[in-house]
Amino acid sequence: YYINIFSIFHLFFNFVDKKILSSIGFPLYFYKPVLCAGHIIGLRKESDWLSSPSFVFSFFFCLTAGSGQQSVTGVTSVDDSNSYWRIRGKTATVCERGTPIRCGQPIRLTHVNTGRNLHSHHFTSPLSGNQEVSAFGEEGEGDYLDDWTVLCNGPYWVRDGEVRFKHSSTEVLLSVTGEQYGRPISGQKEVHGMAQPSQNNYWKAMEGIFMKPTELLKTEAHHGEL
C-alpha cells in the first residue's frame, strides 16, 4: 500500500513544479533521492566569484606540518577514485547499508581508496590558520574525532541539497576557502575546519554509487500507522 502511494507521488512530481510544492510546505524528501549509509559519493563545494568548484580529495600523502596525518585537500574535478568517500555510521555504532541519513545525525566519511576517515582535531591548518582536517585510521576504524554531524534542512540528507558537516567534537565546519598548496601537491586547496558558518562550508553530494534506501519506506509506513 505504501509503496504504491510512494510511486504515485513520484509520477505526480514529474508534472508539478517542485518550487510550488516546496512553497506550500510539501515534504521534499518524497521526491528527492535520499543519501544512505553505504553510498559512495564525491563531496563538492560549489564555485563562487572567487574560486572554482572543489571536491574533497585524499591519497597516500602525509602532511609535513601539524599532525603529519594523511592530507585532505580540494581539487577541481572528480575524475579519479581519490575523491570518493563512503557514508558510514558514527564511531562504535552499526548503521546498516541503505539506512537513510537524517539531518542532525553524526556520521563518518571513509575514503574509499585508503580506508581512512575524514578527521579533525586541535591542530592549526598550515595555510589559513583554521583547524586542520586530515584522514585518519586504518581500514575504516579510527576514533571519535572522525565523527561529523550532517546539518541540512528537512528530515533527511537529500542528494541535490546543500549540506554542512559539523565536527561532532570541536564543532568546526568542513570548509575550503581557496588557499593552495605548493609542491608536491601544487594547485590543491586546503580543506579545513572553520568556526563560523559561511558559503565556504556548503557542500553537495555529487557523482558516486547509490543504492535504494532500505529503511525509508518502512520508517514512513510505521509513522503513518502511529
Is the alpha carbon torsion for 83, 197, 47, 62 positive or negative? negative
User: What is the 3-class SS of 170-213, one letter each residue?
Assistant: CCCEEEEEEEECCCCCCCCEEEEEECCCCHHHCEEEEEEECCCC
pLDDT of residue 13: 46
CA atoms in the 13 A half-sphere facing the CB of 55: 20
39-43, 50-54, 199-203, 219-223: lowest mean pLDDT where?
219-223
pLDDT confidence bin for 72, thresholds 50/70/90: very high
The Cα-based distances of 14 to 30, 37, 158, 206 in angstroms read: 12, 27, 17, 22
pLDDT confidence bin for 15, thresholds 50/70/90: very low
Question: Under CATH, which architecture does the 35-212 domain have?
Answer: Trefoil (2.80)
Q: Which residues, at least 6 apart from 196, have a Cβ–Cβ distance to it below 8 Å?
A: 173
Average pLDDT over residues 51-65: 85
d(CA 209, CA 207): 7
- Global pTM value: 0.79
Average pLDDT of the chain to the nearest whole number? 82
Q: Which residues, at least 6 apart from 162, have a Cβ–Cβ distance to it below 8 Å?
A: 152, 202, 203, 204
pLDDT of residue 94: 82
Closest CA to 218 of 89, 14, 36: 36
pLDDT of residue 209: 66
Average pLDDT over residues 145-166: 96
**Is residue 113's pLDDT more than 80?**
yes
State how far Cα 136 lies from the chain centre. 16
**Stronger pLDDT, 208 or 143, i.e. the higher one:** 143
Domain definitions of the chain by residue range: 35-212
**C-alpha cell belonging to residue 148:** 561529523
- pLDDT, one tens digit per residue, over 119-144 is 999 999 999 999 999 999 999 999 99
**C-alpha cell belonging to residue 91:** 564511531
